[in-house]
Chain A
Amino acid sequence: DAKTTQPPSMDCAEGRAANLPCNHSTISGNEYVYWYRQIHSQGPQYIIHGLKNNETNEMASLIITEDRKSSTLILPHATLRDTAVYYCIVRVVGGHNFNKFYFGSGTKLNVKP
């Protein structure tokens, strides 16, 4: 089952904010929303995660709607090096209290000069 839904691609002008949306309508109360990115075929890089409150760190901001069914990752000043595939992930608890990480197809962000 798909746990998250993201647009397949987005463009953003260098220096502008990039806003990447994600739908996770089946999220449950104790599940966190994580964002990772993958540049070319390198290992996925952690960006940010949150439960219900908005979060901000040195890389990005995460805005989670009040009903928690969707979220937006914001890169405030996108650079060419932010060109990557961005994955929105819901961390679920499996059948035996085990965790799994479900990766979807992600959003390919193209930052253009």
Chain B
Amino acid sequence: EAQVTQNPRYLITVTGKKLTVTCSQNMNHEYMSWYRQDPGLGLRQIYYSMNVEVTDKGDVPEGYKVSRKEKRNFPLILESPSPNQTSLYFCASSLSGRSTGNTIYFGEGSWLTVV
């Protein structure tokens, strides 16, 4: 079954404690992306990756890092989480980022609370 898998699904952490949210897709997709969703603000893109070792900032990259060492994985790293990063996070992937016709698939989301 084609899917995008995120872990953890739910996490409560403390300010300043580094954490990583993993994302994996089994569709051999080139393009992967991270979004955060906050009440009243819709989904906003954090980072995206066109392919292995190719990443770029989205609209709200501050406080986040990503890496793309393998095609299937695209972890989101919060080096020093702060309460304003409390949010619902979604990972997404599509076959290619160079064609507007590809469908994007989303993971089920990761609830992150920073206290």
Contacts and interface: CB of A to CB of B under 8 A. Distances in A.
SS class, residues of chain B in contact with chain A = strand
A93 B105 contact: no
Given A42-B109, A43-B109, A99 B103 contact: no
Contact of B45 (A31, A49, A100, A104): A100
Nearest to A28: B100
A32 B101 contact: yes
Contact of A103 (B40, B43, B48, B111): B43
A32 B100 contact: yes
B42 A105 contact: yes
A40 B92 CA distance: 18
A41 B88 CA distance: 8
Nearest to B43: A103
B46 to A, nearest CB: 12
B98 to A, nearest CB: 6
Contact of B97 (A31, A87, A99, A106): A99
A41 B100 contact: no
Given A103-B42, A105-B42, A106-B42, A97 B106 contact: no
A99 B105 contact: no
25 contacts: A31-B100, A32-B100, A32-B101, A34-B104, A42-B108, A42-B109, A43-B106, A43-B107, A43-B109, A44-B43, A44-B106, A46-B105, A49-B103, A93-B100, A98-B50, A98-B98, A99-B31, A100-B45, A100-B58, A101-B33, A101-B104, A103-B42, A104-B42, A105-B40, A106-B42
Interface of A: 30-32, 34, 36, 41-46, 49, 51, 87, 91-93, 96-101, 103-106
